[in-house]
Chains A and B, each alone.
Chain A
Amino acid sequence: MVWLNTLYGVLNACFILLVGPLIDGVERRIRARLQNRRGPSILQTWYDLVKLFRKRAARTGVPLTLFRLSVYTGFAYLLIVSLFIPSILCGGMGFFGDLILFIYLLSSSKVFVLIGGYSSGNPYASIGSTREVSLSMASELVLAEIIALIALSRNSLLLNSVFPVTAVLRPSVLIGLGILGIITYIEHSRLPFEIGEAEPELAGGYTIEYAGRDLGFILWSNTIRRALLTTFLIDLIIPLDVFYHLVIYPVLLFSIMIVFTAIETACGRLRIDISLKHVKKLSYVMWGVILLALIGY
């Protein structure tokens, strides 16, 4: 059983690794079409990555080993996450962790990438990283509330018993899923909340000093993170069943990403304090939802 699940986990991880840049390619095409441009091929992100992987890395970091190794450590944490949440196959290495571990592994990968950003020594990278940390602190509050809601409605933290949370259809769960959707959008660092990189303002933020292979891995990690967050949202909605995961899951994955892209195209960047205020408001709403769930709805 353990070996079968391990195999499932490895296949899931392969799927996520491959499909992450592909989704990004589709998004770029759609964004272009929405802006009346022709747009690149949907494999363009993969082409970019391959080209970056061929290039030599640049060395600017102050502790050099940390500057380069942190990118790969962050990537390894994402790999672990993709091993253990069910995506295309309904199974995975869920035997080694629960919901809290999922959240922690995701934020750990971000912590490593940001430490790498700091150690580049560039002030733009520092500014981008601090903003990213601030935003993820605030959204961690909402995520914690969502986990509490899930734990309350399923009375367990195991992935197998938590997925899908929609098995108990309560108003609080539905609102909670809606808010999780918004938080997923924010954690994707899409346009109104794309604060850490902020291309026009900070010239790439925490990625500014990276080049070549390292940059390629950062971009790849970002697409994987997006795919994983969306997968988590979908896993909470669809039943843990072979058919649903093999057929419905990819459809939902792509359609959610496309909807997010469409929203993104219509937005401009928010200032960091304003976006923090938005997340804080969301946490207030979520307290209300938890209260609702505690009453029994």
Chain B
Amino acid sequence: MTLLQYVFLLPIIFLSVSTVLTFYIRGRTASIISSILSLAACLSMLFLSINVLLYSRTYRYDFICWPFPSHTMSNFAVFRINIDTLSAYFIFIIGLIGAVATIYGLKYINKYSAEHMGFFSLNYSLFILSMYMTVIVSDLFWFIVFWELMTLSSQFLVSFEKEKKRAIWAGYKYFTVTKIGSEFIIIGSLIAVFVLNNFNTSFRSISINAAEPLGFITVLLMFMGLAVKAAVVPFHTWLPDAHPEAPSHVSALLSGVMIKVPIYMMIRLFYEFTVPGLVWGIMVSTVGVATLTVGAMYALKQTDSKRLLAYSSIEHIGYVVLGLGTSLLLVSLKNYLLAGVALIACLYHLINHALFKSALFLTAGSVEYATGLRDLNRLGGLAKYMPYTALAALIASLSISGIPPFNGFAGKWLVYCSTFLAGGLLLVYGVLALFISSVTSANFIKYFTGIFTRNISRINASVIREVPYSMSLSQLVLCILCIVFGVFPLVPLSLILPVLGVEAPHIYDVVSRSVSINIGYIGIGSFAHFYPLVIAVILSTFLPLIYVVAVRGRGSRYELWTCGSLVEKRRLLYPARSYYKDFEEVFGEIYSVGDYLYKMIVGIIPRKVCVAFKRFVGLADDPVIMYMVMLIIIVIALLVVGV
């Protein structure tokens, strides 16, 4: 017991040692050392999180950094760590995806020159460390510190390929946009700490009354800051540039884990710091549904494999945020059963997305490793040469499209249940979510068939071979987890329900009474139920049967039918850009609205702000005007604080 209490130190020690070592060691050695240490850290994270979740433990530590004489200031001198079930849930995701991505990265990173490997390894360890610290600290001040560290280290990972101008630009854009986001969090936290909570920075003592104007502004600022990092519409523009540019296992970490960290803070914000009203439920769920629509519809247009995955990440964050918003809305309407279902949906879909999106990014990375290509128009026919990668991509694509026994369906099903049965506005959102789910399956039909089926074209087929075992196995491990999490909902739910028990006990009571769960079954009262185990059993009995009866026959080999004319095989390729052109044209309103907003937010408004700022600088030469402006600002500040 005493030793267990200090397990949480293990990842910190491993990753800090790795960070310090890679500061001095360069080249391939650095990457091997940092991989081994990161793997050890991730495995200890998994151990810690399972330990916390299964036994519903809480580990709490207050380290006093330096003794302060006065009472009010002494709050800042304490480094608080609190590992409850919510933290442990996110530690589980970080540990799981981190471990798999690290194993994958061992061989994958050999693609790049050894020159900057030390710098890369340093940032890699620092990135995992800062994500871990962000979810375990229980103090707003330290939260912001590690949050910024996370942005900084991941920014260097994004622009790792310094030779490519696009990578530099993507890293720069990512850093500036998310930095602006974190300024919102800082301002919100400052108000929360100094004005509303009497200099208390501890999570336990922060409470914000969202009904008063100042509390509302505080919550809004913090939510906006978190939304920027989570790539929620309209703050999503950095993600499709940043995530594809990073090395693939880092993209898997960015999309699978990092954009989930803001969701962690959102849950803390809305379930611990404040009691949000109806307005917040409507706002958060609206933002969620806008995010998923924009993400999926823009993913339909992409022909770059990793960019398509990045847009689809935006979409799935939309599902998660929609689940969160639905639960907030229903809590304020006192419908605790469906609110609980929505919160479970949020957490369930979050871990599902971490699994299949990491797997997909890894497969995209393998394809890039083997062929050096990301363009879906030019790729094709790789299943013959890379069977394991193709299998992994197929399972992950089916999961993300929500084909029933896989995990993607289970998460989405919970979202639909909570929205469809709630009625009202949420019903409309549920319809959009269900529609967008079919767009997702179209996207991933394009992703999978564009890379792995059809004819091989314009690539030299003789040089393509399957990726090393460490890479293909790490993809397949994630796929097996996709199947397990889908067929046996008890597995993820036994991780999620402890979170509910701590975060929202009143919801947990209702949920534990009305939601029936067994090893392969979820039933929500007398409203809806779903038995994935039965489907899996039926499929796994039918398919071998049919295979024996029908497929086994050899059949004779024919060439493709080309209307009788002799055409070169590589010219028979239907390019990925023309897959859904008609659909894009007919449902073009979404694109025109999106493009208009993009033009406004990125082009016109900043330019006007710049012009206004220049005028202001002109005025600022006059001391009298500046004095007046100062006075007005002070008066407004006093008014705000006075409220």
Contact = CB atoms under 8 A, between A and B. Distances in A.
B574 A140 contact: no
B403 to A, nearest CB: 5
A73 B586 CA distance: 31
Contact of B572 (A56, A58, A122): A122
Contacts of B438: 107, 136-137, 140-141
Interface stretch (A15-23, A26-34, A156-164, A242-250): A156-164
Contact of B427 (A68, A72, A131, A290): A290
A44 to B, nearest CB: 22
Contact of B530 (A101, A122, A294): A101
A148 B453 contact: no
A228 interface: no
A104 B404 CA distance: 7
B452 A63 contact: yes
Contacts of B453: 61-63, 66, 115, 118-119, 121
A95 B529 CA distance: 8
Interface string A147-158: 110011001111
Interface residues of B, number: 77
Contacts of A143: 434
A236 interface: no
A56 B555 CA distance: 5
Nearest to B413: A100
A272 B449 contact: no
A208 interface: yes
Contact of B381 (A121, A126, A157): A121
A93 interface: yes
A62 B572 CA distance: 12
A263 interface: no
A66 B454 CA distance: 12
A185 interface: no
Contact of B547 (A72, A272, A273): A72
Nearest to B589: A280
B434 A118 contact: no
Contacts of A83: 538
B421 A151 contact: yes
Interface stretch (A35-43, A74-82, A166-174): A74-82
A175 interface: no
Interface in B529-570: 529-531, 534-535, 538-539, 542-543, 546-547, 550-551, 553-563
Given A140-B435, A151-B427, A100 B528 contact: yes
Contacts of A120: 560
B223 interface: no
A208 B561 contact: yes
A137 B586 contact: no
B379 to A, nearest CB: 12
Contact of A60 (B445, B559, B574): B559
B381 A152 contact: no
Contacts of B538: 76, 79-80, 83
Contact of A63 (B390, B423, B579, B580): B390
Contacts of B456: 62
B573 A62 contact: no
B574 A127 contact: yes
A interface secondary structure, majority:
helix
Given A115-B445, A290-B431, A156 B528 contact: yes
Given A76-B539, A144-B431, A151-B420, A119 B449 contact: yes
A131 B553 CA distance: 31
A145 interface: yes
Given A96-B530, A108-B403, A140-B434, A276 B551 contact: no
B305 to A, nearest CB: 16
Contact of B558 (A58, A76, A105): A58
A114 interface: yes
A69 B383 CA distance: 14
Contacts of B371: none
Contacts of B587: 138, 276, 280
Contacts of A264: none
Contact of A121 (B435, B529, B572): B572
A276 B583 contact: yes
B556 A157 contact: no
Contact of B526 (A127, A133, A158): A158
Interface stretch (A176-184, A186-194, A209-217, A252-260): A209-217
Contacts of A59: 555-558
A123 interface: yes
Contacts of A79: 538, 542
A62 B573 CA distance: 12
A101 B413 contact: yes
A121 B455 contact: yes
B580 A58 contact: no
A134 interface: yes
A83 B537 CA distance: 13
Contacts of B417: 100, 157
A98 B560 contact: no
Given A62-B453, A63-B384, A114-B445, A97 B527 contact: no
Nearest to A143: B434
Given A156-B527, A212-B555, A294-B423, A126 B409 contact: no
B560 A118 contact: no
9 contacts: A62-B383, A66-B383, A96-B534, A119-B454, A131-B582, A137-B438, A147-B431, A148-B427, A157-B420
Given A62-B455, A290-B431, 17 more contacts: A59-B557, A80-B539, A96-B535, A98-B529, A101-B404, A104-B409, A107-B441, A119-B383, A130-B574, A134-B582, A138-B583, A140-B434, A143-B434, A145-B431, A151-B420, A157-B420, A294-B424
Shortest Cβ-Cβ A-B pairs, 7 listed: A63-B383, A96-B531, A57-B555, A126-B574, A144-B434, A119-B453, A140-B438
